[in-house]
Amino acid sequence: MATWHHLQVKRIGRSFNVLIDDEAVSKPTESFTHGNFVQLTITDNLLIGGHPEPDHVSALLPDRRKIVSYKGTRHFIGCIQSVLINGQRLDPIRDAVSAANVANCYSHECSQPITPCGLNGECISQGMSWNCQCKSGFGGNQCQKNLSKSVITEMSFNRNSFLSFEMTAIQRGPSSRAFAVSARIKKSVVEEPNEIFLTLVSKFGGRVRYTFVEVVGTNLAILLDTWNLPNDWPLAQPISSTRLNHQTSLSTDRLMVSKWHVVTLSRQNNHLVVQIDGKLAMRLDLQRSENHEVNYTQLIIGGCTQSIRDRLAFLREFQGHTKSTGFRGCIGDIRVNELPLHFTNATHSQNIDECVDSEL
């Protein structure tokens, strides 16, 4: 009671499972649907917190007398913080098509009339805590710093930060056959999950391709993960996704905390190459499907947007992959084909601050 919990409902094929705080409620062998169909055809609305016709639900419960009596059945009483369906984050109030007797849960600071993030950021609930997603040009833990007129050459990232650049706004931006993206990075902590350092978005044939470069652990490790996804992400339909490439490369050097390293991602014909401090860290031969021209549309430094992160977590969840966060540390001297990119060149940014040595 009075504690936030994480509830997950999963269905893979005919296997159905419910987890609370990552603990399975029942064994998978006991949650197996009958019949030959492995996909759900959902035509009704998703109801959260209750049902307008309790009699209808009561009639569908198997062995309901052993579970709970009808008279004891009540709607949910409490607070719901966020809802994710197949990697899409929904707002329980704003995205609902209809609702009854639903209001803000004012026990959380993000639901107060004046949130900790003020007018310059959005308060994001995270269980009992919160973090601020600051608007472009504002930084600080509570978006209290106005950075729009600052000259920032070395930027601080805090797991929820990113800089997004539109390729159409960059002269000599990445072509589909040859490009190089480089940046100086300084990692601030050792014990972190995978940290997304760079995200490259490309579009072709009505589909979207995400390429992620991640720093893994304390070694200079780069994880390259390329997904091919439909441009229109269906909410309640099976996701037609293809994992084109998945490769992790460990270098012999270690990633020294508070030390600057230069990381470069380049494409040379049908190869992706990652260099660290001028030394080859990984060379990936792309599949034949990469032979066509690719339209690179977006470059994201230091992480990725929340919507992309939600999609990535959903796709990787069924493959036992470690969850990823944004980069935590400092990044500077961002270049695309040797063209310097400044903080002010970004079309969108979030939680960017000045890099201060005392923060590392």
Beta strands of 93-177 (E only): which ranges? 121-126, 129-134, 138-139, 145-146, 154-158, 162-166
Residues 171 and 233 in one domain: yes
Domain match, 172 and 256 both: yes
Looking at the fold, whether 136 and 167 belong to one and the same domain comes out as no
DSSP secondary structure string for all residues of 157-205: EESS-EEEEEGGGSTT---SSEEEEEEEEEE--SS--EEEEEEEEEEET
Q: Which residues of the chain are modeled with pLDDT < 50?
A: 64, 69-72, 358-360
Could you tell me the two tokens for 306? 């929340």
- The pLDDT assigned to 196 comes to 86
Split into its structural domains, the chain has a count of 3
92 plus 198 within the same structural domain: no
Q: What is the pTM of this model?
A: 0.74
**Cα R_g (the chain), whole angstroms:** 23
pLDDT at 255: 65
User: pLDDT tens digits for 8-32?
Assistant: 888 776 677 788 887 887 665 556 6
Residue 278 and residue 163 share a domain: yes
The per-residue pLDDT for 360 is 44
Whether residues 299 and 159 fall in one domain: yes
pLDDT at residue 72 in the model: 46
Structure tokens at 73: 């059945």
Asked if the structure places residue 2 within a domain, the reply is: no
Per-residue confidence (pLDDT) for residue 330, from 0 to 100: 93
- The H or E element that residue 311 is part of is helix 306-317
CATH of the domain at 160: 2.60.120.200
- Both 182 and 40 in a single domain? no
Q: What is the pLDDT of residue 220?
A: 53
Domain ranges, residue 242: 152-359
Asked whether residue 90 is domain-assigned, the answer is yes
Q: Which H or E run contains 54?
A: helix 54-60
Asked whether residue 291 falls in the same domain as residue 156, the answer is yes
Residue 117 belongs to domain with CATH number:
2.10.25.10
* 259 and 333 belong to one structural domain: yes
**Which of 175, 147, 181 minimizes the C-alpha distance to 349?**
147
